[in-house]
A and B are shown apart, each in its own frame.
Chain A
């Protein structure tokens, strides 16, 4: 499983765009990059997933360069409710229809009024 490295914490003011970068140097050809968000005492919530280039949904954008050794989660105009821990995951496709999510330490994002 490819190991991920992301900043332990980040601070941002309300209304700003936040970019959280994740490093995954040993990513394999069939691996996908997935981001989850977790609030205290709740289960993680899926944010976005991608394989390469750029993916955008109503919540965030995910940028993945051609070498796929890193990825950047972009949150536009954050609000106080975006204060949470954000996890970057590399999800392998085993081919056997079985997979597990391997969570790292995550990035604790604090949004300041």
Chain B
């Protein structure tokens, strides 16, 4: 079966702009989580969605937002981009937000802010 698909794979934006990243989970998966990975901070949890509802949110400013659609696809948006937002953004999907459910990660979107 198809894995988690993230688009675009690479993105270059200018400071102050906004960006939208997309994630298509594995068919049948209803839980989608987003993570930011940087060399300095490592992998950090952004937020989690289940049935179109944000269930959990990490410690990120309000410039980071997301949503989930009825088909479980998810988008995250970053407004007023800063240089420090340059990172690999990873999306993970699972059947449901349960501790004994495996999370499958996509290959990520590499965002570069210049």
Contact = CB atoms under 8 A, between A and B. Distances in A.
A49 to B, nearest CB: 7
B105 A45 contact: yes
- Size range of the interface on B? 20 to 34
A104 interface: yes
Interface residues of A, number: 24
Contacts of A105: 42
A103 B97 CA distance: 17
A16 to B, nearest CB: 27
Contact of A49 (B90, B96, B100): B100
Contacts of B102: 46, 49
Contact of A41 (B99, B104, B108): B108
Given A41-B88, A43-B107, A45-B105, A99 B98 contact: yes
A87 B92 CA distance: 16
Contacts of B4: 43
Given A99-B56, A99-B98, A100-B33, 17 more contacts: A30-B99, A32-B100, A43-B91, A43-B105, A43-B108, A46-B104, A49-B102, A93-B98, A93-B99, A97-B50, A97-B55, A97-B96, A98-B97, A100-B58, A101-B35, A101-B43, A103-B35
